[in-house]
Chain A
Amino acid sequence: MRRWATAVAAALALALLVAACGGGGGDEQSAQTVGIEWGEPENPLIPGNTTEQNGGDVIDALFAGLVKYDVDTGQPSNEVADAITTTDNRTFTIRIRPGWTFHDGTPVTSQSFVDSWNWTAAGPNAAGAQSFMEKIDGYDEVSPEVPTAPTMRGLRVVDPQTFTVTLEQPFTIFPLTLGYSAYYPMPQRFFTDRAGYEAAPVGNGEFRFESRTPNQNLVLVRNDQYAGSVKPQVQRLDFRVYSELQTSYDDVLSGNLDHVRQVPPAALTGDRWRTDLGAGAHQKEGLVTDSLGVPLYDPRFANPLVRQAISMSIDRQTITQQIFGGVYRPATGYATSAADGYVPNQCGELCTFDPQRARQLLAQAGGFAGPLTLTANSDGGHDPYMEAVATSIRQTLGIDARYAPVPSFSEQRRLANAQQFTGLFRNGWQGDYPSIETFLTQLYRTGASSNDYGYANPAVDAALSQADQAPTTQAANAGYAAAERTILADMPNIPLWSRPVIYGNSARVAEAEHNPLNRQDTTTYRLNPQG
């Protein structure tokens, strides 16, 4: 017995010791730090290699681009650029403002931009945002695995403050796209000491890199040499990794965290999140849409009437109301209202719930053979609404529609890349810049990078090219809207709803805003005075 008691006591003491060592920490800094809900980025923090949200959020704080999108309207205005001029919408002359420096003290020059863009476009670098350079003249020579040219001939440095960009084809809205993170400049340090850069990224933005613990957090500190027009105000940003959105939300409510970049869908029901967060609840129009892609390579979906019937059998109004607390907006087209060139109600009756007409169309098309599967990845929180959409289709059309999830996003992408979907698939899209074009070209052009449906319509390709080359932005937008209508009639992708930008702040925060692109504008971050 005594031996036993000793052993147990020793084990207890050891456990307590191990558990107790460490823990706690100074709170002097935390009063000046804004804690932000975050997730581990998928790539090293290089602008040209980052296309996902987590990495993008930090990169946006670390870097400043040629243009910046207004925090409220999303309208672009010059930031590092002094002027962007063109006469033919094909060659753009970009002059940058003097006085911008990287965090290591080196100046931001036109060479910084040209080097960065060439690096992103070059095939051997395998950069994630490579395709953003594809419109620049000479891209085809540098982008293969074995390039035939070292740099793109469309980029030319005129002097340290000026460079020109020549595109393969005129692209009228090109200046508007330049606020995207892929177009940020890179410091010389990156090209000479890549490993050093990745360990401590150097940018030209309002915050500097301070420290990072993988899978735990990343800390940025205010850049007092920031040359932008609006200066950052808080001392530090602490991006903290969370695995569950609900936990970060609870942390904001109980004061352990200051900012959640999204709100758990469960809290949207009955506007609970507005009650919970009070003045910290924020919502604005955004660029995110959800839709159901149609595998046009499956002959059962060949008839457009089938696609239209399915679209009209989905009760978008009730689903957004019940599952998303009425915060999401039923789609009336492919673009969202925050995009430049948006035209309301492009889809018309095709996106309106009309059970009778839907059944009629399906009968006209000769019915639908076999079960209709709806696929989404289970790790993305899509289950509740996919289930509801499947039920809506099943109960309206009387066909055996079922939700058949796959375990992960990579599995979903594998099926998409291999064109192996056997039914409708979830298709989420986040616009890269606030223009109607971002919702069309990459999704519906023949062979486009995100055209997972296998959609090919020469009339649409021609209409999009024509819009790209229109003399003015207005004319371009009109052209895009016309193309959108043509695509909607074909219905290769069934619009569901648009997601507004939703975020929440704790009681400590006076202001912390996202722009309509759902990127954080960290210059707006302010804490309430201590009291």
Chain B
Amino acid sequence: MTEPLLHAGTARPGDAGEEADPDVEHPGGFWSDAWRRLRGRPLFWVASAIILVLLVMAVFPSLFTAVDPRAADLAGSGATPGPDAPLGRDLQGRDVYARAIYGAGPTLAVGVLATLGTVLLGALAGLLGGYRGGWPDSLLSRFAEVFAGLPFVLGGIVILTTYNPPGQLVGESRLVVQVVATIVVLSWPMAMRIMRAATITARDQDYVRAARALGAGRLRVVFRHILPNTLAPVLVYATIQLGAFIGAEATLSFLGIGLKDPVVSWGVMIAESQDRVAQIPHAILFPAGFLVVTVLAFVMLGDAVRDALDPRGR
């Protein structure tokens, strides 16, 4: 990433806290340094490979299975894994493997988009509030508290039933967007509070004061000095929230207002199977397993990115 012209004159003096680390002085700038460090991490490549497979699964599910995920053989309800259905059948007699494959797309769409939305919205608000302080901070924080005070179930029911009259059919992509929007609207305050706390800590650090004293532009201070120092908690939060948001999507489905037939997601599969966890455990354990692997991949990716972005990194 090239430095914006605006900041060209103040590129060096801001690094007061980093002088011990010769790595940072490497030509090519902060972001390309980060990329170089990232490339060298095996963790990054493993995580990327898993995510790539998941993405292919999401976009071309038919590459992985020829079975229709909606086809049900009720007589074979709850069948255990076997040659006929590799991961067994659920209560309705549907192939768990085919459903898990077809569920990857909507699951990732909801999980990733909701995480991105929450983090972007929350981080932006937190950064602004924490750095600026004063009345904008108060306003933003109090505004966030209004949203945080709403129970998730109530907010979900209100938002989703307002935009979808009950009992009516809604297109798949529209429903995904609505579910994502619902989760973002109701979850951003947490991301904001975390970002705000990290910003407040970073704002008063010596090197930030130094950068400001040396006349660094406001934007530059925020993005060049504060952001990298606040990313760690936000990334931890984001990667873990990915799993939690997929769970939130399951909650909405369970209430009958989230994703629904013919759309399938891992959350839907888990919600559907919860009553019979003792009788048909494979219908819940396999989608949960897919979820573990996915969250693991994103957490590893997050770890790698954080390490690479850390200006004090080796």
User: Which residues B63-114 have CB closer than 8 A to chain A?
Assistant: 70-72, 74-75, 77-78, 91-93
**Residues B255 and A373 in contact, CB atoms below 8 Å apart:** no
Q: A373-B169, A407-B161 are in contact. Are A318 and B276 (CB under 8 A)?
A: no
> Besides A379-B255, A387-B261, A388-B74, 20 other CB < 8 A contacts?
A318-B75, A319-B74, A322-B78, A323-B91, A373-B168, A373-B169, A375-B166, A375-B167, A378-B254, A378-B255, A378-B257, A381-B275, A383-B272, A384-B92, A388-B92, A394-B70, A395-B71, A402-B262, A405-B260, A420-B167
Stretch from A38-46, A190-198, A264-272, A469-477 forming part of the interface with B = A264-272
Separation of A265 and B274 alpha carbons in the complex (Å): 12
**Residues B168 and A411 in contact, CB atoms below 8 Å apart:** no
28 A-B pairs within 8 Å (CB atoms) are namely A246-B275, A265-B275, A266-B276, A269-B78, A269-B276, A318-B75, A322-B74, A322-B77, A322-B93, A323-B91, A371-B169, A373-B167, A373-B168, A375-B167, A378-B254, A378-B256, A383-B272, A384-B92, A384-B275, A391-B72, A402-B169, A405-B260, A406-B166, A406-B167, A407-B161, A411-B161, A411-B166, A422-B168
B157 CB within 8 Å of chain A? yes
B279 CB within 8 Å of chain A? yes
Give the residue name and chain of the B residue nearest to A401 (CB): B261
B257: A residues at CB distance < 8 A: 378, 407
**Residues A391 and B74 in contact, CB atoms below 8 Å apart:** yes
Which range holds the interface residue count of chain B?
20 to 34
User: Which residues B232-264 have CB closer than 8 A to chain A?
Assistant: 254-257, 260-262
B6 CB within 8 Å of chain A? no
**Residues A422 and B167 in contact, CB atoms below 8 Å apart:** yes
B1 CB within 8 Å of chain A? no
Separation of A403 and B169 alpha carbons in the complex (Å): 10
The 3 A-B pairs with the shortest beta carbon distances in the complex, nearest first, are A378-B256, A405-B256, A406-B166
Separation of A361 and B78 alpha carbons in the complex (Å): 33
B168: A residues at CB distance < 8 A: 373, 404, 422
Separation of A388 and B74 alpha carbons in the complex (Å): 8
Give the contacting residue for B261; candidates A266, A315, A403; CB below 8 A: A403
A392 CB within 8 Å of chain B? yes
B278 CB within 8 Å of chain A? yes
**Residues B167 and A421 in contact, CB atoms below 8 Å apart:** yes
**Residues A407 and B167 in contact, CB atoms below 8 Å apart:** no
Separation of A83 and B236 alpha carbons in the complex (Å): 77
**Residues B261 and A407 in contact, CB atoms below 8 Å apart:** no
A411: B residues at CB distance < 8 A: 161, 166
User: Which residues B41-79 have CB closer than 8 A to chain A?
Assistant: 70-72, 74-75, 77-78
What's the least CB distance linking A142 to chain B, in Å? 37
User: Which residues B276-300 have CB closer than 8 A to chain A?
Assistant: 276, 278-279
Q: A269-B279, A322-B75 are in contact. Are A407 and B166 (CB under 8 A)?
A: yes
**Residues A264 and B275 in contact, CB atoms below 8 Å apart:** yes
A272: B residues at CB distance < 8 A: 279
Q: A266-B275, A269-B279 are in contact. Are A318 and B166 (CB under 8 A)?
A: no
Separation of A248 and B92 alpha carbons in the complex (Å): 26
A322: B residues at CB distance < 8 A: 74-75, 77-78, 91, 93
What's the least CB distance linking B154 to chain A, in Å? 11
What's the least CB distance linking A401 to chain B, in Å? 10
Give the contacting residue for A404; candidates B71, B74, B169; CB below 8 A: B169
User: Which residues B4-20 have CB closer than 8 A to chain A?
Assistant: none
What's the least CB distance linking A197 to chain B, in Å? 34
